[in-house]
Amino acid sequence: MSISFMPLPHGLTWTHFTVVQTSPDGNQAQTGYDITASFSYTGSDDGGYKLSRFAVTVALVSGDTWVVSGQKSAALLNHERLHWVIATLVGRELDAELANVTGSSSDEVQQSAQDLIQAKNDRALAIGQAYDDDTDHGQDDAQQKLWLNKVHGWEHNSNQVNWP
Amino acid sequence: MIRAAPRRAALPLLIGALVAAGVSGGARAEPAGGGCAHDAALEAAVASALRKKVRDIESTPGVRIEITFGCPAVSEPRQVTALSAHGHGGFVNVLELTGAGEARALRLKPAAAPTLSGPPPKVTRATARPRAEAIQHALAFASAALASTIHVALPPPVPGAVQTISARATTHDEALEIRLTGTGGVSSTRRWDGYVDSTHAAARVPLEVAWEALWELAGGPLRPAPVEEPDRAAFQRLLDSDGPRPRFLNDGLLELGAVLATRPVVPSLTPFLQAPSERTQLLAVNALATATGTDLRRDAAGALRPLADVTAAYRALAAPPPAPRH
């Protein structure tokens, strides 16, 4: 098991965002990230295959991380940062669960690994959607504070995401 | 709201079957044998547009993008009613192409904090009467995009070698809805909502490519201009159409209602008075004030009333009159 974050979960600042003059779709800011797993396929004791030497990286994608000029605010950064923290927490789950991926062939293991990665991406997005719905994309201050406390609670509970 | 299942590496995902919704009229482009005419040049151009968008978001190295085309759900589309919205303060867009060849586009920038007392939202708009050839090309392009199936295949596994699989996601959430109507009233509605990400690109990208082809029909830059009767009619068609919509899209539509709502949409607006979100309730109130022509937001002295009182007042206004006593 090995996981790395670029940047650290609470290390997201405006310096990571490219300032753009306009957004084609009108939104104020966007954060993009990759959840990536690297691994090898090796034979397992039962004659099948499993993953080995695996590593997970959750990394910002600079080309997909931007803010419209004049829109920077502490509230907007806090909102985007919590999306990022949620992604890193789900990345930890992926790292923990890759060890369980096995199959009777390398094709089957690849399929299972891809399914797991996509399921984790879906999970991060589903949590993010509930977060955006509840906070009205960060415009509801009271809900934003509730979500901040919720996610901090997960972090303080050994990074266990209590969701759904 | 329709969400596609995650794609799988081994099996092509029949996105068309998963996200097509509301095909009515029973007609499809394929004849009894199951085929339909394919325009190779058109499909090559559409495939190129689709492939570029998938590449833009795909982060797994070495993948192969396979694109195939089925038969359009509407064989000869002539009209379009479409809607898109982008979360995090993004635009709400309405697009309509009439059977008479008029294209109109409306755009709203949602207010960060709408109020009962604020001015109506600013709507920018454009109308155009494109050449028939341009309309035909855009409709064919959009139809082909919507009839496409995208499959992203991983490189084969090599025992002992290192493989990387990645999922890319963004916090950009968007909703797209495109309704094509053909001769005889045959229509098909496709919807997508979710975040711009790699995992669901196969479901999202065809609608994005179709949207962009159709949006170009409205022509030049959007400008502030008074709304017209056809704008109100398009709003009514959208509000009355079925299908659940994500909240940020519903809220955008409701905000448009403050300038576009008319009396016939009152029954569609009234349920939003009881929405869980106060923002949604407030937007519904502003739309109902326009639709009914009755402003119940202020008391007799001109002071703003509490939101709960105003929503109750509009519910009462919209309630059917009591049955006559005999």
Would residue B163 count as lying in a domain? no
B115 and B189 in a common domain: yes
Q: What is the percentage of chain A residues whose pLDDT exceeds 90?
A: 91
pLDDT of B17 above 60: no
Domain boundary among B180, B207, B225: B225
Count CA within 13 A, CB hemisphere, residue B112: 9
Domain boundary among B204, B225, B246: B225
Strand partners, A63: none
Would residue A161 count as lying in a domain? no
DSSP B259-273: HH--GGGHHHHGGGG
Give me the number of domains chain A comprises: 1
Written as six digits, the tokens of A32 are: 């993009």
Check CB contact of A122 with chain B, cutoff 8 Å. Answer: yes
B134 and B96 in a common domain: yes
3-state secondary structure of B103: strand
B250 and B181 in a common domain: no
Q: Which domain holds residue B297?
A: 231-320
B57 and B179 in a common domain: yes
B256 and B132 in a common domain: no
Would residue B2 count as lying in a domain? yes
Summary mean pLDDT of chain B: 87
Would residue A117 count as lying in a domain? yes
Would residue A11 count as lying in a domain? yes
Q: What is the percentage of chain A residues whose pLDDT exceeds 70?
A: 100
Single-letter amino acid, residue A89: L
Nearest by CB to B157, from A27, A109, A122: name it: A109
- CB contact under 8 Å between B163 and A40, yes or no, is yes
User: CA-CA distance, B245 to B1, in Å (whole number)?
Assistant: 6
Name the residue among B259, B290, B319, B244 with its Cα closest to residue B121.
B259
How do residues B95-145 score in pLDDT, each as one tens digit? 999 999 999 999 998 887 889 988 888 899 999 999 999 999 999 999 999
- CB contact under 8 Å between B89 and A115, yes or no, is no
How do residues A1-58 score in pLDDT, each as one tens digit? 799 999 999 999 999 999 999 998 999 999 999 999 999 998 888 889 999 999 999 9
Please report, for residues A101, B84, B242, the alpha-carbon distance to residue A160 in angstroms, rounded to integers and kept in the order given: 20, 36, 39
Would residue A8 count as lying in a domain? yes
Q: Which domain holds residue A121?
A: 3-156
Would residue B270 count as lying in a domain? yes
User: CA-CA distance, B203 to B193, in Å (whole number)?
Assistant: 10
pLDDT of B75 above 70: yes
Would residue A60 count as lying in a domain? yes
- CB contact under 8 Å between B10 and A111, yes or no, is yes
Would residue B325 count as lying in a domain? no
B91 and B38 in a common domain: yes
Would residue B249 count as lying in a domain? yes
CA distance from start to end of chain B: 46
B189 and B259 in a common domain: no
B272 and B211 in a common domain: no
Would residue A164 count as lying in a domain? no
Strand partners, B66: B151
How do residues B78-96 score in pLDDT, each as one tens digit? 999 999 999 888 999 999 9
- CB contact under 8 Å between B87 and A117, yes or no, is no
Is-contact B120 B33, C-beta < 8 A?
no
For the ranges A108-122, B152-166, B221-235, B240-254, the lowest mean pLDDT is seen at: B240-254
B182 and B299 in a common domain: no
B246 and B189 in a common domain: no
Would residue A163 count as lying in a domain? no
Mean pLDDT of B302-322: 92
> Model confidence at B35, in pLDDT bands (50, 70, 90)?
confident
Domain boundary among B209, B225, B241: B225
User: CA-CA distance, B1 to B175, in Å (whole number)?
Assistant: 9
Q: Give pLDDT, residue B13.
A: 30
Written as six digits, the tokens of B315 are: 């519910």
pLDDT of B219 above 90: no
Please report, for residues A24, A27, A126, B63, B261, the alpha-carbon distance to residue B112 in angstroms, rounded to integers and kept in the order given: 18, 11, 24, 40, 21
User: CA-CA distance, B87 to A16, in Å (whole number)?
Assistant: 21
> ipTM surpassing 0.90, yes or no?
yes
Collect all residues of chain A within an 8 Å Cβ-Cβ radius of residue B207.
Answer: none
Is-contact B181 B96, C-beta < 8 A?
no
How many beta carbons lie within 10 A of that of residue B54, not counting itself?
A: 19
How do residues A105-153 score in pLDDT, each as one tens digit? 999 999 999 999 999 999 999 999 999 989 988 988 999 999 999 999 9
Would residue B162 count as lying in a domain? no
How do residues B251-267 score in pLDDT, each as one tens digit? 889 999 999 999 999 99
Whole-structure pTM value: 0.89
pLDDT of B55 above 80: yes
* Cβ-based interface (< 8 Å): residues of B facing A: 6-10, 59, 86-91, 109, 112-113, 154, 156-174, 194-195, 197-199, 247-248, 277, 279
Would residue B161 count as lying in a domain? no
B286 and B184 in a common domain: no
Would residue B87 count as lying in a domain? yes
Strand partners, B45: none
Would residue A87 count as lying in a domain? yes
Phi, psi of A55 (to 5 degrees): -145, 145
pLDDT of B317 above 80: yes
B137 and B90 in a common domain: yes
Give me the number of domains chain B comprises: 2
User: CA-CA distance, B163 to B174, in Å (whole number)?
Assistant: 31
3-state secondary structure of B121: coil
Residues 30-59 of A with CB under 8 A from B: 30-43, 49, 53
